[in-house]
Amino acid sequence: MDTESDYRRSVFARPAIACLLLCAALAAGAAEPASGKADAIVRDAMRTHRIPGVCLGVVASGVLIKSSCYGYANVELKVPVSPASLFQSGSVAKQFTATAVMMLVQEGKVQLDDPIVKYLPEARGTAWENVTVRQLLTHTAGIPDIFGESEDDSYNKGILDFRRDYTEDELLRRYLTLTLDFKPGDRWNYSNTGYELLGFLIHRVSGMFYGDFLRERIFLPLGMSATRIISEADIVPGRVNGYRIVDGKLKNQEWIAPSLNTTADGGLYVNIIDLAKWDAALYTEKLLPQAVLEQMWTPVRMNSGKSYPYGFGWELGEVDGHPMQFHTGSNQGFLISISRFARDRLTIVVLTNLDDAHSVARGIAEPVAKAYFHSATAD
């Protein structure tokens, strides 16, 4: 669930700085002036965008070297945010869904170029019949985005009632009535719907609800003890409230039916502590071979031969010449991001409880990354 499309286009190329220089400088203490700059960047963004609460994580070589939180998790009760505070993930969850799919691929239970009818036979005889698993992962299937990020979101009317709960089968039947935006593989167009289908596929193939699969195969093995599926009913320690600004006034997050917050496009609670563990694991082969991870971080190639900077659940870009794997997530009064500069072994995690399209991307994540790059070269 991600409405923050500006971030995908907001990175620019400049000369690169060698990874060894940055890592050595951080180890030597160059992170100290950058940390102070990061604090100022966050506080300025909070004032400018009226963000109630922010948690900032800076991870170097898999180690959380800065975990700073500012403002409130709950404005009404004046509860401060902390590194343990749980924010809604939005589309940052897609990288976990993609990892789960690739685990099934590694086990020989799924093939990337299989048509989805092999796993979701209800699609047989529809326009979706030839859509492949790979195309769902890379947003090149042509499946409209039910959350309205398509160029024409008129199709969204009447498909879902966001105040009503649905089963997976009910959602699938409704989605199969949608007309494809383009021939599969012809273009790139962001589709939360496609990632919901991948969650259904994980369930059908593994026999486990995708959230249970993530918990058993990813979160528990990595010690990500707080990360979990969103629940309106459960008591969730550290749960953060989401906010939005309406007519200039701060309002609570908009309510949607609980089942729609448990789909594989963005249905998680996360914090900076667990995301640092996730980042560290991506330098290893605890979950997948490095060759498979590199495949997930490779730009998709379309039917024309042209590529687009999106892999499997990861967007691809660069900041000041530093290659970056990243994703943002926005939903129900939250906007968060994870930006991995793997060659530099530096990752910036920003969690906010205000759904503002520019607060994370241009206001915090990129300026903080630049501060650390600059401190490393100036040391």
Q: State the pLDDT at residue 260.
A: 94
Name the percent of the chain lying above pLDDT 70: 87
- In this model, does residue 46 exceed pLDDT 70? yes
Return d(Cα 296, Cα 300) in angstroms, integer. 9
91 is catalytic: yes
Span 82-93, pLDDT tens digits: 999 999 999 999
pTM of model > 0.75: yes
Q: State the pLDDT at residue 350.
A: 97
Look at 53 and 9; give whichever has higher pLDDT: 53
Task: List all residues 6 or more positions away from 347 whose beta carbon is below 8 Å from its beta carbon.
Answer: 57, 58, 59, 60, 276, 279, 338, 339, 340, 341
Q: State the pLDDT at residue 361.
A: 59
- In this model, does residue 14 exceed pLDDT 60? no
Dump strand ranges (E) for the chain.
53-60, 63-74, 79-80, 87-88, 228-229, 243-246, 249-252, 268-270, 300-301, 307-308, 315-319, 322-331, 334-341, 346-352
Return d(Cα 12, Cα 323) in angstroms, integer. 10
The model's confidence at residue 375, banded by pLDDT at 50, 70 and 90, is confident
Q: State the pLDDT at residue 147.
A: 76
Calculate mean pLDDT across residues 29-56: 90
Return d(Cα 95, Cα 142) in angstroms, integer. 20
The model's confidence at residue 150, banded by pLDDT at 50, 70 and 90, is very low
- In this model, does residue 21 exceed pLDDT 50? no
- In this model, does residue 153 exceed pLDDT 70? no
Q: State the pLDDT at residue 225.
A: 97
The model's confidence at residue 357, banded by pLDDT at 50, 70 and 90, is low
Instruction: Tokens for 224, please give them.
Output: 């990500």
Instruction: Tokens for 41, please give them.
Output: 């960047």
Span 138-147, pLDDT tens digits: 999 999 998 7
Task: List all residues 6 or more positions away from 194 whose beta carbon is below 8 Å from its beta carbon.
Answer: 135, 136, 137, 139, 141, 143
- The number of beta carbons lying within 10 Å of the beta carbon of residue 117 is 16
Span 277-301, pLDDT tens digits: 999 999 999 999 999 999 999 999 9
Give the residues across from 354 on adjacent strands: 243
Q: State the pLDDT at residue 130.
A: 93
Q: State the pLDDT at residue 298.
A: 98
Look at 5 and 49; give whichever has higher pLDDT: 49
Return d(Cα 38, Cα 298) in angstroms, integer. 30
The model's confidence at residue 222, banded by pLDDT at 50, 70 and 90, is very high
Span 223-266, pLDDT tens digits: 999 999 999 999 999 999 999 999 999 999 999 999 999 999 99
**Average pLDDT along the chain:** 89
Task: List all residues 6 or more positions away from 224 whose beta carbon is below 8 Å from its beta carbon.
Answer: 218, 274, 277, 278
Yes or no: say if 127 and 177 are a contact pair by the CB < 8 Å rule.
no
35, 85, 91, 150: the catalytic one is: 91
Q: State the pLDDT at residue 26.
A: 52
Span 171-200, pLDDT tens digits: 999 999 999 999 999 999 999 999 999 999
Q: State the pLDDT at residue 188.
A: 98
Which stretch of DSSP H or E encloses residue 19? helix 19-25
Span 290-342, pLDDT tens digits: 999 999 999 999 999 999 999 999 999 999 999 999 999 999 999 999 999 99
Yes or no: say if 54 and 364 are a contact pair by the CB < 8 Å rule.
yes
The amino acid at 184: P
Look at 213 and 29; give whichever has higher pLDDT: 213
